[in-house]
Amino acid sequence: MAQESLKPYILMVDDRQENLFALEKILRRVNAHLISANSGNEALSLILRHRFALILLDVQMEGMDGFETATYIREYEQSANTPIIFVTAINKDQKYVFQGYQNGAVDYLFKPLDPDILISKVNIFLKLYEHQAMQERLIRKLQVAKAKLSESEIRIHSILNNIQDGVVTTDSQGAIHSFNLAAEKMFQYTFAEVVEKPIAKLLDEDSGNIYQEVVQSESSDSIKRNLVSGQRVLCRRKDGRFFPAEIGISKITIDGKPLFTSSVRDITQRQVYETKLIRAKEEALRANQAKSDFLASMSHELRTPLNAIIGFSTLIMRCSQDSLSESQEESLFQIQKAGEHLLSLINDILDLAKIDSGKTTLSIEPLCVKNLVREVGDLIQNTAQELDIRIEIVNNCLQEAYILGDNVRAKQVLLNLMSNGIKYNKPKGMVQLKCEPDSTSNDRILFSISDTGIGISPENLENIFEPFDRGGAEGSEIEGTGIGLSITKKLIAAMNGSITVTSTLGKGSCFEISLPMCPNAEEIMEAEELAAESQKPNNEKLPQLEETLTLLYVEDNPANLKLLQKFFESAPQVRLETSASAESGLKRAAEVLPDIILMDINLPGMNGYEACKLLKQDGNLCTIPVIGLSANAMKSDREKALDSGFDGYITKPIDFNELTRLLKDLAPR
């Protein structure tokens, strides 16, 4: 509920209800509260009650038009800077566009609206609003902190004002004439020990010189006055220790002789606070500079070569298409796709660094521990061999051990830690990946990645998971950005896991990851074995379908897409359409009206259950059969899918005979 209340508000203003309905339908995908107004007056009334992140304002309205409404909106303090996007189907002339900008618009859109462009623009303004809200929260926190600090200083001063300051009186030559009890306690001298002694005895050399200059320059003036107030000096105790103090010097004349009274206040505690504030500010500036440096470096050092890789592979494919073999063309395609994927990951990291709150979508599913560690070991082997590092895989888990995690991200974190173990190792060193039941919890698996490398010092170990921290290796020849461990920790946390590290300088490091076990592991293993058995090669041909079918396959995993594309190559009567997300799949379904939809359950963003629900609610698409595909092989998973509106359910790995039978059963007659 609290999360819902934090969503920003978008105001949609149009005097035609059907236009508001169309806008609302497009903007349902946006994470915001949508509020509509049928007139300019109603919009102004709503602005008094809500703070809006964005206003979508129709130009052509009866009564008060959009331009006039915008003028009034700008007159309200709370909406003076609220972004306004004018929407019109009529006033497309440049003079109206110019008038819109003059009336405070930040953009001008023409009907009919392109949903994707509108969503993109709205999301940009929502992000700007998010940044502004974040800045306002930071300012409020800063103001609270400043008020607390000010309160603290007032309290300290109040306490000090109720405690007698040290008071020392001298003549014009600096000889001490009086010394109160507070001064005795402060300086650790008795009055008898300092009487007639020079006050310089209580000050360091520079402070003593300042005192003498003030006293001697004013000794001829007989008028009572404050000579110095709040002068910082360094005082010396009897044991020789120095302490900072504030001194105020007043001059009085008694019997024609000038006397100088100094009130001394110990400000050691205040300087501690000031030092902490200065250090905190310096650390914040360093962190901000490190972030800026990283962003600049990441953008230049990674984007530039990636653009070359993607660009040249595309160029070769275009210019040499006729001379390339099928294998070469496929290799170039994979290079291009890998480059684009890496560029996408870099963009995610950059966004994460810029706003410190990036969102990484995960597909949590049961993962076989045995397969996971074997695949990671295979992937890292070549890198290790190149640097003469030995890889050791130790699996102390039961055969049927499964964890809950994202397959790609789980491999990513293990590969990152093992890559670090290789990079920061010694010649002929070793990196070990060990998995075993977590001794501290009976429902978790512990992955240990240890190495025989250079280790991490205790002072660097504290901040090892902080962004851009390289554990003291900043000046070494070993390449790295210092962000890998930070991302690793965030990904592990997103999979409901934890990570710890121990290290001995010169001997190596050990990272331990604890991830939740998957319940019902035995059932999953049996289901996977049955599915794998059904995938064994046989001499049966794909049964011929009676009529040409248009299938839409919604799947985010490229390998799975490729698999079905290969399968249906032997069925020319099948036309296969694909989409990589539920959102794009819904749009494609409306465009091609397929005979059957194959829908992966564990999609990033909107999942398969949500997509199926929307399909069944759509009057044009509700009759299209939808088959769910998932790696979840339990009976309860199948029942949940069928209860949610799916017309069929197939587990991965796919039994193609079962898929074909299901397609024939669901195909239009």
Which carries the bigger pLDDT value, residue 342 or residue 5? 342
Report CA-CA distances (Å) from 642 to 135, 627, 665.
47, 9, 16
Amino acid, res. 46 = L
pLDDT bin (cut points 50, 70, 90) of residue 391 is: very high
560-580 pLDDT per residue, tens? 787 788 778 777 788 899 999
Beta-strand ranges (E) seen in 428-507 are 430-437, 444-451, 498-504
Q: Which two tokens stand for residue 244?
A: 């900072």
Answer whether the bond into residue 112 is a cis peptide, omega within 30°. yes
Listed by start position, the domains of the chain span: 2-135, 166-266, 271-355, 364-519, 522-666
User: What strands lie across the sheet with 430-437, from one edge to the other?
Assistant: 390-395, 430-437, 444-451, 508-516, 498-504
- Residues 55 and 85: their CA atoms lie apart, in Å, by 6
Q: What secondary structure letter does DSSP report for 199?
A: G
pLDDT above 70: residue 344? no
Please state the φ and ψ torsions of residue 28, each to the nearest 5 degrees: -60, -30
Total length of the chain: 669
From the centroid of its chain, how far is CA 489? Answer: 12
Q: Which two tokens stand for residue 105?
A: 């618009």
- Residues 505 and 462: their CA atoms lie apart, in Å, by 14
- Residues 648 and 639: their CA atoms lie apart, in Å, by 10
140-183 pLDDT per residue, tens? 888 888 888 778 756 644 553 455 688 888 888 888 888 888 88
pLDDT above 80: residue 540? no
Q: How many angstroms separate the first and last alpha carbons of the chain?
A: 48
Q: Which two tokens stand for residue 489?
A: 């920790």
Question: Helix H segments across 356-457?
Answer: 369-386, 407-423
- Residues 464 and 468: their CA atoms lie apart, in Å, by 9
Burial of 275 (0-12, 13-18, 19+ CB in 10 A): exposed
Tell me the CB-side half-sphere exposure of residue 60, using CA atoms within 13 A: 11
- Residues 544 and 177: their CA atoms lie apart, in Å, by 116
- Residues 565 and 577: their CA atoms lie apart, in Å, by 9
Q: Which two tokens stand for residue 74?
A: 């700008």
- Residues 600 and 577: their CA atoms lie apart, in Å, by 14
What is the three-state SS of 493-510?
Answer: HHCCCEEEEEEECCCEEE
**Which of 32, 37, 25, 24 has the alpha carbon at shortest distance from 66?**
37
pLDDT bin (cut points 50, 70, 90) of residue 343 is: low
594-604 pLDDT per residue, tens? 999 999 988 88
Q: Is 271-355 in the same CATH topology as 166-266?
A: no
Task: Provide, rounded to the nearest whole percent, the portion of the chain with pLDDT above 90.
Answer: 18
From the centroid of its chain, how far is CA 470? Answer: 19
Please state the φ and ψ torsions of residue 449, each to the nearest 5 degrees: -115, 105
**Would you tell me which CATH number, out of the four given (3.40.50.150, 3.40.1160.10, 3.30.390.50, 3.30.450.20), belongs to the domain 166-266?**
3.30.450.20
Phi-psi region of 468 (alpha: psi -120 to 50; beta: other; left: phi over 0): left
Which carries the bigger pLDDT value, residue 131 or residue 400? 131
Work out the angle at residue 617's Cα, subtended by the Cα atoms of residues 611 and 623, and round it to the nearest 5 degrees: 95
Enumerate residues 6+ apart whose C-beta is below 8 A from 412.
488, 491
Q: Name the pairing type of β-strands 107-110 and 430-437.
A: unpaired
**Which of 381, 517, 389 has the alpha carbon at shortest distance from 447?**
517
24-70 pLDDT per residue, tens? 899 988 989 999 999 989 999 999 888 898 999 988 888 888 888 88
Q: Which two tokens stand for residue 454?
A: 């250079």
Q: What is the per-residue pLDDT for 651?
A: 75
CATH number, span 2-135? 3.40.50.2300
519-536 pLDDT per residue, tens? 776 666 665 555 455 444
Q: What is the per-residue pLDDT for 493?
A: 87
Assigned CATH class of 364-519: alpha beta
Report CA-CA distances (Å) from 91 to 67, 86, 105, 114.
11, 10, 14, 17
502-512 pLDDT per residue, tens? 998 888 999 99
- Residues 346 and 299: their CA atoms lie apart, in Å, by 8
- Residues 659 and 124: their CA atoms lie apart, in Å, by 42
**Which of 16, 171, 24 has the alpha carbon at shortest distance from 89?**
16
- Residues 465 and 463: their CA atoms lie apart, in Å, by 6
Contact 511, 500 (CB under 8 A): yes
User: What strands lie across the sheet with 626-630, from one edge to the other?
Assistant: 574-579, 549-554, 596-600, 626-630, 648-651
pTM across the whole model: 0.37
Amino acid, res. 567 = F
Q: What is the per-residue pLDDT for 539?
A: 35
- Residues 258 and 248: their CA atoms lie apart, in Å, by 16
Output b/e per residue, 324-333; b: 16+ Cβ within 10 A. Answer: eeeeeeeebe
Task: Tell me what the pLDDT averaged over the chain comes to.
Answer: 80
- Residues 478 and 480: their CA atoms lie apart, in Å, by 7
**Would you tell me which CATH number, out of the four given (3.20.140, 1.10.287, 1.20.1070, 2.30.110), belongs to the domain 271-355?**
1.10.287
Q: What is the per-residue pLDDT for 545?
A: 53
Contact 11, 50 (CB under 8 A): yes
Work out the angle at residue 253's Cα, subtended by the Cα atoms of residues 251 and 259, and round it to the nearest 5 degrees: 55
Domain 522-666 has CATH 3.40.50.970: no
